[in-house]
Structure 1
Amino acid sequence: MKTGTLPSPLRGIIPPLVTPLLDNDTLDVEGLERLIEHILAGGAHGLFVLGTTGEAPNLSYNLRHELVQRTCAQVAGRVPVLVGITDTAVSESLRLAQTAAEAGAAAVVSAPPYYYTPSQAELVTYYNYVADRVTLPLFLYNMPSHTKVSFEPATVKALSEHKNIVGLKDSSGNSVYFQMLCNIMRDQPDFSLLVGPEEITAEVVLMGGHGGVNGGANIFPHLYVELYEAAQNQNFEQISILQQQVLDISSRLYTVSKCGTSYLKGVKAALSALGICNDFLAEPHQRFQGAEKEKIKSHLAEIKSNMQRANSVSL
Structure 2
Amino acid sequence: MTEKPENSQYRGIIPPMITPLKNEDELDLQGLHKLIDHVIDGGVHGLFILGTTGESTSLSYALRHGLIKETCKHVNGRVPVLVGVTDTATAESIRLAETARDAGASALVAAPPYYFSLGQPELIEYYNYLADRLPLPLFLYNMPSHTKINIEPDTVKELSKHDNIIGLKDSSGNTAYFNKVLFHMKETPEFSLFVGPEEIMAETVLLGGAGGVNGGANMFPKLYVDLYNAAINGDIEQVKKLHALVMEISAGIYSLGRFGSSYLKGLKGALNLLGICNDYMASPLHKFEKEEKDQLESNLREIQKKIH
Tell me the TM-score normalised to structure 2 length.
Answer: 0.97
8 Å contact kept, 1:202–1:228? yes
8 Å contact kept, 2:21–2:28? yes
- For 2:167, the equivalent position in structure 1 comes to 167
Q: What is the deviation of 1:13?
A: 0.1
Q: Select between 6-15 and 113-122 the one with higher mean Cα deviation.
A: 6-15
- For 2:120, the equivalent position in structure 1 comes to 120
* 2:37 match: secondary structure: helix
Distance of 2:234 and 2:149 partners within structure 1: 34
Structure 2: any 5+ residue segments left out of the alignment? none
Alpha carbons of structure 1 residues 176 and 265: separation in structure 2 relative to 1, 3 Å: same
- Match status 1:235 vs 2:235: yes
Distance of 1:177 and 1:122 partners within structure 2: 20
Q: What is the deviation of 1:8?
A: 3.2
Q: What is the deviation of 1:7?
A: 3.6
Q: What is the deviation of 1:289?
A: 1.7
* 2:136 match: secondary structure: coil
- For 1:312, the equivalent position in structure 2 comes to none
Distance of 1:95 and 1:118 partners within structure 2: 23
Q: What is the deviation of 1:6?
A: 9.0
- For 1:221, the equivalent position in structure 2 comes to 221
User: How far does the alpha carbon of each residue in 1:6-59 deviate from its partner, in whole angstroms, 9 at most, with x for none?
Assistant: 943100000000000000000000000000000000000000000000000000
Distance of 2:204 and 2:284 partners within structure 1: 34
Alpha carbons of structure 1 residues 94 and 6: separation in structure 2 relative to 1, 3 Å: farther
8 Å contact kept, 1:6–1:80? no
Q: Which amino acid aligns with 2:298?
A: S
Distance of 1:21 and 1:7 partners within structure 2: 33
- For 1:74, the equivalent position in structure 2 comes to 74
- For 2:244, the equivalent position in structure 1 comes to 244
8 Å contact kept, 2:6–2:190? no
How do residues 38-77 of structure 1 correspond to structure 2 at under 5 angstroms? 38-77=38-77
User: How far does the alpha carbon of each residue in 1:140-161 deviate from its partner, in whole angstroms, 9 at most, with x for none?
Assistant: 0000000001011110000000
Q: Which amino acid aligns with 1:265?
A: K
- For 2:185, the equivalent position in structure 1 comes to 185
* 2:82 match: secondary structure: strand
- For 1:288, the equivalent position in structure 2 comes to 288
Cα RMSD (Å): 1.0
Q: What is the deviation of 1:256?
A: 0.8
Tell me the TM-score normalised to structure 1 length.
Answer: 0.95
Q: What is the deviation of 1:284?
A: 1.3
How do residues 1-315 of structure 1 correspond to structure 2 at under 5 angstroms? 7-308=7-308
- The aligned length equals 304
Q: Which amino acid aligns with 1:264?
A: L
8 Å contact kept, 2:137–2:165? yes
Distance of 2:307 and 2:47 partners within structure 1: 24
Percent identity between the aligned chains? 59
User: How far does the alpha carbon of each residue in 1:226-264 deviate from its partner, in whole angstroms, 9 at most, with x for none?
Assistant: 000000000001001000000000000001111111000
Q: Which amino acid aligns with 1:305?
A: K
Distance of 2:129 and 2:157 partners within structure 1: 16
